[in-house]
């Protein structure tokens, strides 16, 4: 594992050399190839070294983060063309990848917290440095302070655990059972804010919309899953209290997911619609983790991976339109099938995966989650039915509004999609729809 | 193979071919003829004028093509094709087949020995600490 860490650290000087933009992206693809093929045949933990390890949850999420980071660089070619501080941008991306990689692969809970917070800084720099509108300052503040508000109690909880148990190793925590309500709330609140759950979700539409395409991709792709990963790790020693209190979080997230799905229909901004759909999907993930079923865990993990690919791809699509029309408004972006009929294929494929149409990974995740939530309580059937229905609804609404109909008469010039953009979308879609053939690598763990 | 064929675009190859044909078909002529124009050199110039970028670099065609080839190789050929082959054909992912075989062997062994598939006292009852009756009076029993 150190080998990948060192590969990333030594890519940092490469970011500052001249004309190395595409080389960095290709190094990241190469690292992805190495990582995904050197770590097969693992049972539970592998590559244990001084403070790193990797089990199957980490494996899938590290794969996702390397993949999304390399696609981020491919999507941000306009920075390179306009020569807008792309060296610092590459440094930001590599630094963020290092922080995410370390978050998912450290053994120590305090180090996990440290890298969890540290990954916020390059994200903030991405939003404020390369975002498009003045509102990005407020968006950065919302992101930072919502997350920090939730995570200070997490730090106190971790220090309390160390005081009590004299160990911070995540693997050893499963032998303990911390039976305190205050510890429970302080530990999981940070992850609920990060996921985000309904009442503390306000940072997400702001941050996702104001971020540049790379920022949106990494936020939707991985940063939300940090919360899910933290919940999966921390739930192990909080099971008893969770069984008494989980109904609060499940009800808030499911009902909130329903409200958010309905709110998607009211959006005029493409990216805002995709951001709200992220909240709706993550609400199901929270529900799945909180019910403490095996299927719930599996469904939420698969939905995390598939949502990372799908949402990231949709933000790429929104940016492809934005680069041509300089507007994210649905009204201006209508009738795109007249200009880019090939792009409507990708809109269709990614939006159909978003609504969990077969054969996407989202389908598998949602089926597992529906099973687990309905087994927890029959009444959640109604909420889940409405969430799934509305998610299909707004995905179709987005597709139909953007692609079909007459185009906006104020358009002057246009250019069709370039090969790089199609490759970008293909690389989002292919794992999403093909990994369902071999889900073994990321789904079931012991 | 494709790379070998595309070598015909290299300037060195073009120059050597042009020199060869000039030596083979030498002629003396004073008037300007149509055949005097260097067609191979013109071809590259008209090609360069209206080239469509792959999307990687809009200024230099060479850089754009290089980036295109390299990106597709690393992402599609390496990660998707080779990685997909490795994932599809890797033996016994997460040792699941081994675990299933071991389970069947154990079950067969227990069946032959006349034991139940799993003993009711899998965990030693002395290690299980149950709460007292007094703590359990309010708790709902869900089966």
The C-alpha angle with vertex A308 and arms to A233 and A21, in degrees rounded to 5, equals 115
Mean pLDDT of A186-204: 93
Q: How far apart are CA A22 and CA A101, in angstroms?
A: 21
pLDDT in tens, A312-366: 999 999 999 999 999 999 999 999 999 899 999 999 999 999 999 988 999 999 9
pLDDT in tens, A139-170: 999 999 999 999 999 999 999 999 998 888 88
Q: pLDDT value at position A50?
A: 73
**Which residues in chain A have Cβ-Cβ distances shorter than 8 Å to B58?**
81
Chain B residues bordering chain A (beta-carbon distance below 8 Å): 53-58, 63, 67-68, 70-72, 74-76, 78-80, 82-84, 86-88, 90-96
Q: Are B86 and A40 inside 8 Å of each other by CB?
A: yes
Q: Which of A111-125, A172-186, A420-434, B67-81 has the lowest mean pLDDT?
A: A172-186
Q: Is residue A123 part of a domain?
A: yes
Q: Are B84 and A434 inside 8 Å of each other by CB?
A: yes
Q: pLDDT value at position A56?
A: 78
Confidence of residue A69 (pLDDT cuts 50, 70, 90): very high
Q: Is the pLDDT of residue A275 over 80?
A: yes
Mean pLDDT of A92-108: 93
Q: pLDDT value at position A230?
A: 93
CA A260 to chain centre: 17
CA distance B78 to chain A (A): 6
Residues of chain B with pLDDT under 50: none
A71: nearest CA partner in chain B: B75
Give the best residue of A25, A68, A179, A426 to mutate against chain B (max B CB count within 10 A): A25
CA distance A444 to chain B (A): 9
Q: How far apart are CA A407 and CA A334, in angstroms?
A: 5
Q: Is A109 on the interface with B (CB under 8 A)?
A: no
The C-alpha angle with vertex B90 and arms to B74 and A369, in degrees rounded to 5, equals 90
Q: pLDDT value at position A446?
A: 44
Confidence of residue A411 (pLDDT cuts 50, 70, 90): confident
Q: pLDDT value at position A45?
A: 59
**Which residues in chain B have Cβ-Cβ distances shorter than 8 Å to A45?**
none
Q: Measured between CB atoms, which of B58, B67, B90 is closest to A40?
A: B90
Q: Is A421 on the interface with B (CB under 8 A)?
A: yes
Q: Are B70 and A43 inside 8 Å of each other by CB?
A: no
Q: Is residue A43 part of a domain?
A: no
Q: pLDDT value at position A173?
A: 84
Domain count, chain A: 1
Q: Is residue A42 part of a domain?
A: no
CA distance A436 to chain B (A): 12
Q: Are A419 and B96 inside 8 Å of each other by CB?
A: no
Q: Is residue A46 part of a domain?
A: no
CA distance A22 to chain B (A): 6
Mean pLDDT of A206-221: 94
Neighbouring C-beta atoms of residue A82, cutoff 10 Å:
9
Confidence of residue A417 (pLDDT cuts 50, 70, 90): confident
pLDDT in tens, A362-398: 999 999 999 999 999 999 999 999 999 999 999 999 9
Q: pLDDT value at position A1?
A: 75
Confidence of residue A441 (pLDDT cuts 50, 70, 90): confident
Q: pLDDT value at position A59?
A: 86
Q: Is residue A44 part of a domain?
A: no
**Which residues in chain B have Cβ-Cβ distances shorter than 8 Å to A70?**
75
Say which residue the tokens 């503040």 belong to.
Answer: A141
Q: pLDDT value at position B46?
A: 63
Q: Are A420 and B78 inside 8 Å of each other by CB?
A: no
Q: pLDDT value at position A103?
A: 93
Q: How far apart are CA A218 and CA A224, in angstroms?
A: 9
If you average pLDDT over every residue of chain A, what do you get? 91
The C-alpha angle with vertex A175 and arms to A169 and A181, in degrees rounded to 5, equals 90
pLDDT in tens, A289-314: 999 989 999 999 999 999 999 999 99
In this structure, are residues A208 and A271 in contact, taking their beta carbons and an 8 Å threshold? yes
Q: Are A41 and B87 inside 8 Å of each other by CB?
A: no
Confidence of residue A276 (pLDDT cuts 50, 70, 90): very high
Q: Are A430 and B80 inside 8 Å of each other by CB?
A: yes
A52 strand-pairing partners: A106
Q: Are B78 and A29 inside 8 Å of each other by CB?
A: yes
Q: Which domain holds residue A165?
A: 1-14+24-36+51-408+415-442
Q: Is the pLDDT of residue A445 over 60?
A: no
CA distance B132 to chain A (A): 18
CA distance B70 to chain A (A): 7
- Beta carbons within 8 Å of A420's beta carbon, 6+ residues apart: A74, A77, B54, B55, B56, B68, B71
Confidence of residue A415 (pLDDT cuts 50, 70, 90): confident
In this prediction the ipTM stands at 0.88
* Among A85, A408, A363, A33, residue whose Cα is nearest residue B83: A33
pLDDT in tens, A217-268: 999 999 999 999 999 999 988 988 898 899 999 999 999 999 999 999 999 9
Rg (CA), chain A: 21
B81: nearest CA partner in chain A: A33
Q: Are A440 and B96 inside 8 Å of each other by CB?
A: yes
A45: nearest CA partner in chain B: B94
Q: How far apart are CA A373 and CA A394, in angstroms?
A: 23
In this structure, are residues A216 and A315 in contact, taking their beta carbons and an 8 Å threshold? yes
């Amino acid at each position: 594992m150190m080998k990948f860490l060192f590969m990333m650290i030594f890519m940092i000087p490469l970011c500052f050399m001249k004309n190395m933009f595409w080389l960095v992206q290709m190094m990241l693809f190469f690292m992805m190839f190495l990582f995904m093929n050197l770590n097969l045949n693992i049972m539970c933990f592998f590559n244990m070294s001084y403070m790193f390890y990797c089990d199957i949850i980490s494996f899938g999420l590290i794969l996702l983060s390397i993949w999304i980071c390399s696609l981020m660089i491919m999507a941000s070619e306009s920075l390179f063309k306009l020569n807008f501080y792309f060296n610092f941008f590459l440094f930001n991306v590599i630094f963020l990848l290092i922080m995410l990689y370390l978050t998912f692969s450290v053994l120590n809970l305090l180090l996990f917290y440290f890298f969890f917070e540290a990954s916020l800084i390059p994200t903030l720099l991405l939003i404020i440095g390369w975002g498009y509108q003045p509102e990005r300052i407020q968006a950065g503040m919302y992101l930072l302070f919502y997350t920090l508000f939730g995570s200070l109690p997490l730090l106190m909880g971790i220090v309390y655990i160390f005081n009590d148990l004299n160990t911070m190793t995540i693997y050893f925590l499963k032998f303990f059972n911390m039976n305190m309500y205050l510890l429970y709330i302080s530990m999981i609140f940070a992850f609920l804010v990060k996921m985000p759950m309904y009442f503390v979700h306000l940072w997400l539409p702001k941050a996702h919309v104001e971020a540049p395409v790379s920022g949106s991709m990494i936020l939707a792709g991985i940063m939300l899953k940090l919360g899910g990963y933290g919940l999966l790790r921390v739930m192990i020693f909080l099971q008893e209290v969770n069984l008494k209190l989980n109904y609060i979080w499940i009800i808030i997230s499911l009902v909130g997911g329903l409200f958010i799905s309905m709110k998607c229909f009211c959006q005029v901004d493409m990216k805002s619609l995709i951001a709200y759909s992220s909240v709706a999907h993550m609400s199901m993930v929270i529900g799945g983790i909180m019910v403490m079923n095996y299927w719930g865990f599996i469904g939420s993990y698969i939905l995390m991976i598939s949502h990372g690919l799908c949402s990231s791809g949709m933000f790429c699509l929104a940016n492809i339109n934005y680069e041509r029309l300089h507007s994210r408004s649905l009204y201006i972006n209508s009738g795109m099938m007249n200009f880019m009929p090939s792009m409507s294929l990708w809109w269709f494929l990614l939006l159909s995966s978003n609504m969990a149409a077969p054969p996407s990974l989202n389908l598998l995740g949602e089926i597992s989650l529906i099973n687990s939530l309905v087994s927890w309580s029959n009444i959640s059937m109604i909420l889940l039915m409405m969430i799934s229905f509305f998610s299909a609804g707004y995905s179709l609404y987005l597709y139909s509004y953007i692609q079909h109909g007459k185009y906006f008469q104020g358009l002057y010039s246009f250019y069709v999609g370039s090969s790089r953009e199609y490759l970008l979308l293909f690389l989002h879609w292919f794992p999403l729809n093909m990994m369902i053939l071999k889900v073994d690598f990321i789904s079931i763990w012991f | 193979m494709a790379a070998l064929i595309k070598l015909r675009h290299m300037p060195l190859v073009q120059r050597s071919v042009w020199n060869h044909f000039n030596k083979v078909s030498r002629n003396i002529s004073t008037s300007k003829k149509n055949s005097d124009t260097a067609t191979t050199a013109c071809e590259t110039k008209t090609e360069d004028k209206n080239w469509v970028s792959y999307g990687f670099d809009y200024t230099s065609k060479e850089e754009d093509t290089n980036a295109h080839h390299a990106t597709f190789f690393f992402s599609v050929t390496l990660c998707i094709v080779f990685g997909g082959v490795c994932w599809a054909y890797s033996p016994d992912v997460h040792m699941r087949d081994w675990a299933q075989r071991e389970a069947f062997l154990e079950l067969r062994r227990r069946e032959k020995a006349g034991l139940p598939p799993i003993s009711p006292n899998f965990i030693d009852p002395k290690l299980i600490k149950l709460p007292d009756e007094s703590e359990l009076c309010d708790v709902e029993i869900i089966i």
